[in-house]
Amino acid sequence: MSGKLLPVLLLALHLTAGSVRSQGSSQDAFIIQYLERRLAQMEERLNLCEQNTVAVTQKTYDLSSEIRGFLSTVSILRSEVRNQVDNVAVRVDRMERELEYLENKIPTQSDIEMEEALLEQQIKAAEQEQLKKKAKIKVEKDCSTALSQIKSLKIVKRTGDTSGSWFKDPSEGSAKVYLLSGIRNNTLLEYVSLQSFAERTTTPPAKVVQLPFDWQGTGHVVYNGFLYCHKAETPNQILKVDLLNATVVDSTLLPGAGRLPVYSLNPNTYLDLAVDELGLWVIHADPEYGGNLVITKLDKASLAVEYTWDTQCRSRDAEGAFLICGTLYVVYNTRYGGRSTIQCLYDIHDTIHSDESPVLFFPKRYTSHSSIHYHPGDKQLYAWDDGYQTIYKVDTRRNDQVTAE
Ligand SMILES: *[C@@H]1O[C@H](CO)[C@@H](O)[C@H](O)[C@H]1NC(C)=O
Ligand SMILES: *[C@@H]1O[C@H](CO)[C@@H](O)[C@H](O)[C@H]1NC(C)=O
């Protein structure tokens, strides 16, 4: 039985093994097919993913360039709006000036001066114990007047360039008015009086003085019939000119001057001359003192330097300055024109202190002064405000601390 059964068993075994083997290889094929399918699917998905990524990147790019476009449109719009606002401001300013000018031309109102209720500004007197005997100078006549406010303004005329200077000869008994239009010329105009200067009709000046050289800037003065001015094409030469025959009678070079404009808002003026109760002064900015203003007292006869003081007043954002009784008052503004304010002062006697004084405001909201000249007799400022010849009346008070020395 075993002899007969064994081959059968073997056959059966063989068959079984064969079927197992054939069954195994078909399973492999199935798995491979399956895996291939999965691979293909994954590849497809990867492709899709890649495409999506490209699309998203493209979209992001489009979006960002769109946003960029929007942003530039917005900034263009913004600058347009800003320009329009600026234009409107300039027009309002012009209108204001025109109004003041016209109001001033109405004869019945010509005596009425516009007064603006300002903050009652009082310069606090320096404390007695803080009086420092710093600068003991000998001047022919000392005085003790301090500025307390800039009270009112009157626009006298509109003539000449946007920059220029005009003033009265401050020497006693002189009524003559001088006008130097522009920032460089060889000509000045002389009028017999303020009234003749202000006349509505275009009155010819009493005299047209032609000099044999050009003056420069807006810092000139006429004192006792002599013009003191900065000679053009020199950094720091001051000339004294006899106006009767337009001849130079004296000249000097001001040490340290001529490297910086005196006031950053008036870039063509390198020397600013001034007259106060004590005499003739010149103001300049010195780069060696951080661009601060330096004041020099000049002998009006010989132009010799008498004394020099370095002040702590900066020239940056300044548009002008003037002296009253040996105290320098510096006027600041913005380069767009705005409200002029006195924010720094320097007293050669050291009795008035800048840090104890409040800011003094000019009456008008929009100004752009190219020159400001104080007249000690009139107690008035003669200013050139963007082509308008303007007078400011000032209030002064006694500064008794000077006599306490
Ligand atoms: C010089 O001033 C006169 C009178 O103000 C003026 O007519 C003339 O145009 C000025 N010249 C220059 C170059 O500005
Ligand atoms: C100019 O006038 C002054 C005073 O009138 C006189 O002293 C001077 O000699 C004159 N100069 C010239 C060059 O005519």
pLDDT at 66 over 70: yes
Same domain, 185 and 284: yes
Amino acid of residue 285: A
pLDDT at 117 over 50: no
pLDDT of residue 129: 30
pLDDT of residue 124: 30
Same domain, 98 and 174: no
Same domain, 250 and 372: yes
149-173 pLDDT per residue, tens: 999 999 999 999 999 999 999 999 9
pLDDT of residue 67: 81
pLDDT of residue 11: 52
CB of 245 sitting under 6 A from ligand 2: yes
Amino acid of residue 77: L
Give the CATH number for residue 297.
2.40.128.630
pLDDT band at 137 (very low <50, low <70, confident <90, very high): very low
Residue from 209, 242, 249, 250 whose mutation best tests the ligand 2 pocket (most atoms within 8 A of CB): 242
CB of 212 sitting under 6 A from ligand 2: no
Which is nearest to 389 in space by CA: 161, 110, 114?
161
Give the ligand with the smallest distance to the CA of 224: 2
268-326 pLDDT per residue, tens: 999 999 999 999 999 999 999 899 999 999 999 999 999 999 999 999 999 999 999 99
Same domain, 167 and 195: yes
The percent of residues in the chain predicted with pLDDT above 90, rounded, is 55
pLDDT at 228 over 60: yes
Same domain, 129 and 192: no
pLDDT of residue 347: 92
pLDDT of residue 51: 86
Q: How far apart are CA 344 and CA 201, in angstroms?
A: 40
pLDDT band at 120 (very low <50, low <70, confident <90, very high): very low
Identify the domain containing residue 48 by its residue range.
2-102
pLDDT of residue 96: 76
pLDDT of residue 14: 54
pLDDT at 258 over 60: yes
Same domain, 185 and 131: no
Note the residue count of the chain. Answer: 405
How many domains would you assign to the chain?
Answer: 3
Amino acid of residue 313: C
CA 262-265-268 angle, to 5 degrees, is: 60
Same domain, 25 and 119: no
Same domain, 31 and 95: yes
pLDDT band at 22 (very low <50, low <70, confident <90, very high): low
Residue 173, phi-psi category: left (phi > 0), alpha (psi -120 to 50), beta (remainder): left
Same domain, 176 and 282: yes
pLDDT of residue 355: 66
In 151-187, which positions are buried (b, 16+ CB within 10 angstroms) versus exposed (e)? bbbbbbbbebeebbbbbbbbeeeeebbbbbbbbebee
pLDDT band at 235 (very low <50, low <70, confident <90, very high): very high
Same domain, 32 and 168: no
Q: Ligand 1 centre from 270 Cα, in Å?
A: 20
Same domain, 35 and 172: no
Q: Ligand 1 centre from 186 Cα, in Å?
A: 8
Same domain, 336 and 318: yes
Q: Ligand 1 centre from 169 Cα, in Å?
A: 21
